[in-house]
Structure 1
Amino acid sequence: MTTVLAAGDAFVAPELFVDALREAAPEPSALTFRTLRAPWPIEPFGPVGGVDEASGTEEELLEALGDAEIALTQMAPFSARVIREAPRLRLISVCRGGPVNVDLAAATEEGVTVSYAPGRNAAAAAEFAVGLMLAALRRIPSSDAELRNGTWRGDYYTYENAGLELEGAVAGLVGYGAIGSIVARVLRAFGATVLVSDPYTDPARAAADGVELVALDELLRRSSVVSLHARLTPETRHLLNADNLRLLPRGAVLVNSARGGLLDYAPLPALLDSGDLGALALDVYDVEPPPADWPLHGAPNVITTPHLAGATRQTAHRAAAISAGEAARFLRGERLRFVANPAVEGPAS
């Protein structure tokens, strides 16, 4: 028998992992399951035991692991301590775009394979990003809120206050992975010209997709709408900042539904007050949740949502299925598709 820990939460529930692995495993009857449910997303994730974006405690995770050889998870804190105190653990399959809640160095040192689930929320996040663009361009949230409070904003139809269309607009995408490429396809269907800044994108692919690959500064100078879709790394932290945000055309719309650290939030209030930045739509923040004294709370032309871009039921099922698929390959002794530390990849028996 192989013991599997399904360490889920209130979005990707443990039962989703269990059902997905029972369907994918070569011998479901040879599996025994242990479960753990983390408090995310009711409680925000954060650093735990030296790993980022984690939920729950090391003590709870160690107790739940027991003699498990395989762990399927989204947010559980697989810190160096947890990995070293779980000697039977062979595989951590993380159902996220990156295993940020796993200490990869410790996993590699202990011979534990770590897999992840790229693209699991690509459709959801792309749709949400486009929704934020439309909401910001056409003042949908503010006009709804004011009408609910009894105010009919006829002045929104004046030329000075009228919104902007995506058709004919120049939209800039910073990052062109699974999410950015879907956003580009949707924007082109609206009739927008799409610019892309991504040093890892093949120019031939960009040309075939009908997008223009440009440097970041050129993208900012030309785009009336900019949406962030890059991964957060030490190199991309504050990729947009006080210096280059001033390159945007006056009145441009900025959307960040990727990672808070990509954007320097400090200059945004002044840019909004001056009108240099026309509107801002945010789903992610430098601190989550933003503190009560956050300067953008209540600021005009700002749309804020609580990190919801990936929150669809399809994403939860897709995430569990990708993670379980990796575990099933591991059980069959096959090569995994998405390995974060390929030097230690190996079969379960």
Structure 2
Amino acid sequence: MPKVLIADKMDPQAARTFRERGVEVDEITGLKPDALAGIIGDYDGLAIRSSTKVTAAILDAATNLKVVGRAGIGVDNVDIAAASQRGVVVMNTPFGNSITTAEHAIALMFALARQLPEADASTQAGKWEKNRFMGVELTAKTLGLIGAGNIGSIVADRARGLRMKVIAFDPFLTPERAVEIGVEKVELDQLLARADFITLHTPLTDQTRGILSADALARTKRGVRIINCARGGLIDEAALKAGLDSGHIAGAALDVFVAEPATASPLFGTPGFVSTPHLGASTTEAQVNVAIQVAEQMADFLVAGGVTNALNMPSLSAEEAPKLKPYMALADRLGGLVGQLTTGAVRGVAVETEGAAATLNAKPITAAVLAGYLRTQTATVNMVNAPVLARDRGLTVREVRTEREGDYHTLLRVTVSTEAGDRSVAGTLFADTAPRLVELFGIKVEADLAGPMLYVVNEDAPGFIGRLGTLLGEAGVNIGTFHLGRRAAGGEAVLLLSVDEAVPADLLARVKALPGVRTAMGLRF
């Protein structure tokens, strides 16, 4: 009988569900890392929330471990790369907390609008400062959503019920989806200038880190109120305090901080500031939901081999897996490539299989493309939930089969439809196992897609490659491989360089400043 350890406090329904499904379970919470390492070798599964850290050292000691289940969304406390290397599946429950987190954002919006925490403290201190706490109505105010995915769309629905005008900034929000959820799609500058309230509902990525920077906060409407129940690091906390102190920002409510647990912060005690200790998912209903879901998923995997909401394993049958896995690796990388290189809203994704690829089950390949593409927007996506997330975002997904062979015996092409037109990338398998890029936005270029890379579009001219190589060499950046393609002599050229370490921002700026460079950006696979 499989055996699972519940290492964090979890609703009792989790243990009950495990046992009902034929899994032995122990509940031992609050273990220090050494103590956990000392017993984890006895277990097939490890169920956690956010307290337990599943590090490479823990995984080294977990000689029998097959699956880690996170009751909740975030998996920052799990070394997924180390788990993958050791063949340990990592699962989460990405949708169990959505309503709870959205409702907490609405609650904090009310708290700011009516100064509820300050009024409560004053009244309970024996004061009766009725004239001190003059609030504002939410009705007819403009709410600006930064991020309009699953949680953001729920907040929009609740806000429209309060008769608020909702505008949203989300580069991946299509016009059709905006109409569906009842929001006006705007650019970030417009949102900052128009919003009376701003709520954030986006993951913390390189693109979103510090999205409300000092400069962005300075461009907000005077008297704005800001709520963050998403991730610490989206807001410059020092600039937020300065805005509150100056009176430009009327109020701010944070459920998340850059450093957690946030036992001290310059924001504490600032007039107009409200804080909660990361309570976004803390309701009875949410805790029950995620506890049952993680137990069901882990039990299904351990008992029957079913895979649901796995972050590092595709959903495949034993018969399909050997043939499909190389294609899914290619699909994932092509999706990640087009996701990193495409800006603006994407309306649809087309996945075309040609030659030998067209004879295979296209669903896992398409799911892998979507997972690679959507992973550039959210860290919790996987092959199982990628189609659901794509549908929620209003993406049209199309599969095309062409059984005749073209230039390659097998080919996979991924095309995204944007407001600026279609953009496509294509790849093949060398020796039926090794993924290889063969075409990028209509330009023939062969390249491995692995590790950190530098992508450059430039004018094809003598001396450019030398100047670029010299610049990188002087900065101590070692080039692993060099791939070049061009439309025609003297026209547009594309460079893809694999590098030992990611190119830092200051060096990337210097690359962009080279004569003839049209675009330069870092990629990661």
Paired residues, what number? 317
1:57 CA displacement = 2.9
Residue 77 of structure 1 aligns to which amino acid in structure 2?
Answer: K
**Alignment partner, residue 3 of structure 2:** 3
- Change beyond 3 A, Cα 1:22–1:198: farther
Which consecutive unaligned segments of at least 5 residues does structure 2 have? Answer: 319-525
**Alignment partner, residue 44 of structure 2:** 69
Residue 24 of structure 2 aligns to which amino acid in structure 1?
Answer: T
**Alignment partner, residue 52 of structure 1:** none
Range moving further from structure 2, 143-152 or 128-137: 143-152
**Alignment partner, residue 219 of structure 2:** 247
Of residues 108, 115, 123, the one that matches 2:84 is 108
1:66 CA displacement = 3.1
1:199 CA displacement = 2.4
CA distance in structure 1 between the partners assigned to 2:73 and 2:35 by the alignment? 24
Residues 146-295 of structure 1: matches in 2 within 5 Å? 146-156=122-132, 162-292=134-264, 294-295=265-266
CA distance in structure 2 between the partners assigned to 1:213 and 1:206 by the alignment? 6
Tell me the percent identity. Answer: 36
Structure with the higher fraction of residues in strand conformation: 2
**Alignment partner, residue 81 of structure 1:** 57
**Alignment partner, residue 33 of structure 1:** 25
- 1:203-244 deviations in whole A, cap 9, x for unaligned? 322211111222222211110000111111233221211011
- Change beyond 3 A, Cα 1:99–1:169: same
1:200 CA displacement = 2.9
The higher-RCO structure (CA 8 Å, 6+ apart) is: 1
Residue 164 of structure 2 aligns to which amino acid in structure 1?
Answer: A
CA distance in structure 1 between the partners assigned to 2:317 and 2:299 by the alignment? 12
- 1:30-61 deviations in whole A, cap 9, x for unaligned? x32222212xxxxxxxxxxxxxxxxx532222
1:192 CA displacement = 0.5
CA distance in structure 1 between the partners assigned to 2:263 and 2:34 by the alignment? 28
Residues 99 and 340 in structure 1, CA contact (< 8 A), matched pair in contact too: no
CA distance in structure 1 between the partners assigned to 2:277 and 2:135 by the alignment? 24
Within the alignment, does 1:307 sit opposite 2:307 as a pair? Answer: no
Range moving further from structure 2, 197-206 or 227-236: 197-206
Residues 8 and 17 in structure 1, CA contact (< 8 A), matched pair in contact too: no
1:114 CA displacement = 0.7
Within the alignment, does 1:18 sit opposite 2:10 as a pair? Answer: no
1:144 CA displacement = 1.8
CA distance in structure 2 between the partners assigned to 1:306 and 1:121 by the alignment? 16
CA distance in structure 1 between the partners assigned to 2:173 and 2:164 by the alignment? 20
3-state DSSP of counterpart to 1:8: coil
- 1:251-307 deviations in whole A, cap 9, x for unaligned? 010111221111110112221122110111112222234354x32221111112222
Of residues 293, 296, 306, the one that matches 1:325 is 296
1:343 CA displacement = 5.2
Residues 133 and 255 in structure 1, CA contact (< 8 A), matched pair in contact too: yes
Residues 308 and 315 in structure 2, CA contact (< 8 A), matched pair in contact too: no
Residues 78 and 101 in structure 1, CA contact (< 8 A), matched pair in contact too: yes
Residue 275 of structure 1 aligns to which amino acid in structure 2?
Answer: G
- Change beyond 3 A, Cα 1:136–1:101: same
Bigger CA radius of gyration? 2
Cα root mean square deviation, aligned? 2.0
- 1:128-178 deviations in whole A, cap 9, x for unaligned? 11011011011122122112222222324xxxx732211111101112232
1:332 CA displacement = 4.7
CA distance in structure 1 between the partners assigned to 2:292 and 2:316 by the alignment? 20
**Alignment partner, residue 41 of structure 1:** none
Residues 14 and 291 in structure 2, CA contact (< 8 A), matched pair in contact too: yes
Residues 108 and 344 in structure 1, CA contact (< 8 A), matched pair in contact too: no
Residues 102-141 of structure 1: matches in 2 within 5 Å? 102-141=78-117
Residue 199 of structure 1 aligns to which amino acid in structure 2?
Answer: P
- Change beyond 3 A, Cα 1:200–1:58: farther
CA distance in structure 1 between the partners assigned to 2:39 and 2:154 by the alignment? 38
**Alignment partner, residue 58 of structure 1:** 33
